[in-house]
Structure 1
Amino acid sequence: MGTRVPQRISVGTEISSAPEATLDYSTPVERENLERVENLYQKVIDKKNLDAADEFFGAGFVQHNPLYGEGVAGFKRFVGGFFLGTFPDLTATVDLAVCQNDRVLAHVHWAGHDESGREFELWTADLYRFQGGRAVEHWDVIEYTELVPWGPARPDGPRPRGEFDLNGTPRQLANLDLLTQVAQNVPLQDLSRAHEYFAEDFFQHDRMIRHGLDGFKECCNNFLHLAPDMVVDPRHVVVGSHIVGTIWDWKGHKPDSDVEVVLVNSDCYRIEDGKFTEHWPVVDYTSAIEAYGYHPKDLFQKESS
């Protein structure tokens, strides 16, 4: 079983063809780009049509994950060779997506079985930048710990960051301002102002974290067990009308050590009445497992029991 819990649908979302998907877009162009992302997974993964990728990616497409190789050819080679070759019944469903101008950040649920019948479940966060109706750039967060049993591991090398988009509707820019305030005023080491930004009934889509403001604080304290000096380093931010999406590093050092721990996260938050009310995570725990020799979920589950 994965760490993600089912969606809680509330005001301000749209239900797509994927049951209980949460979609946030503010303009017709954003909606068109979102449809293109949904079509990519439906046609290429669900319908096993690799050639459909040619309709999605633009000339000179830049892939920032070396696992896929370069360009459209690399994408088709890896998806066809590993994903579809290993899991013949694989499906990929956009569970959540937030759009801002030329970018779409999607949380995608992958599920299937290998030829022996062993179950496969994976979450990814995929960020696409569009130009002229085609995707021209891609960044991601992958739960690499779920891939390791079948071979692929997180590749080495830098993960380029993108420029923050300071253009949008008044509501999008207000949400960006709120996210900035949280990053500045609620460091992991001092949660005394968390109640100003997080609702008391804060809803978690992570099975390892209790619902509510207290559950959020417990989660932050657990991260500090891994790295007491942990800070959040934003790499990408996409803000919608109701959802803000991030790709950022939660990084610090193992206690009494110079061993760096870097948790690569994509966190999406729903905003209602000026507060964060709901949270969807995709986390790569590879670095923590390498540093400690165990999965942090073991610590989280012990602390919450």
Structure 2
Amino acid sequence: MTDSPQPAQSPQPTAVTLYVGGTGRSGSTLLAGALGGAPGAVDVGEVRFLWERGLMEQRLCGCGQPVPQCPFWTEVLNRAFGTERPDSARLHAALTRATRLRRLPSWLARRPPPVALARTLRSLYAAIAEVAGADVVIDSSKLPTYAALLAALGRPEVRLVHVVRDPRASAFSWASAKAAPDAREGLMEQRGVVKSALLWLVWNLALEALWRGRGRYLRVRYEDLAAAPADVLAAVAAHAGLPAKPPLATGQRLTLPPNHTVAGNPSRLRPGPTWVRRDDRWLTGLAPKQRRLVTALTAPALRRYGYPVRWGGR
């Protein structure tokens, strides 16, 4: 008898997937991490990066081990695929082709995803739920086209929480250097303010357009999460079908549980008590010229998401 993995039994997805969409540097890792502490939930980070950053580049799981050595992900992959594990490079390439932003028209037209890719993702998400014993799988992949891809699978059911942050604050955060222990250069990706602003506009509006008519939708602002974390987390938990009690926050304090997240903000590597404070350093750190530029580029959606065109502080 051998202990080697046997062929996968094609697990069928039954758990809900709560997809955290939006742009980076908007508090998505914090939101997903806190929700991962709710009974019946598991936070697995940005699953779209499992194949590239997790398996090919062998970056760290939220538990601190490289993803290929993490017992949780090893069991998930064995449960999903047995000895017929997909080739990570090919699957990453297929995902990239399917979810690049220039594919927006085909996703808006509701064309079905590639059959092989759909079968692989259904098995993966079902195995995550089974191994974690979860009713809700929290995926903070953010990318709007990946959200459309998951929704097009039919199963599992996908519910969207759309996280938005003031684009000027996001631009400042993207331009700032931030340590990332598992990144090649030891830093998180940085973007200039023009690229950050344009992606903020396109990703947020595209996410709404792609999701229209697809299922349950809830919008959350970073600023509201920072001001009243318990209230916002209770609303998102109810949206996902998770119990709202016990509270996921006490005042401004969250307790982030240990996790098995793939990619995301380095804060995922530091579970435990966390104080939520609104980060408004951009008010003095973003040069006036940069602020005006970001405001001009994102003006078509500022008021839609509750942000003033002229910022006088608050």
TM (norm. structure 1) is: 0.29
The structure with the largest helix share of the pair is 2
Higher relative contact order (CA 8 A, sep 6+): 2
Higher normalized strand content (fraction of residues): 1
Normalised to the residue count of structure 2, the TM-score between the two structures is 0.28
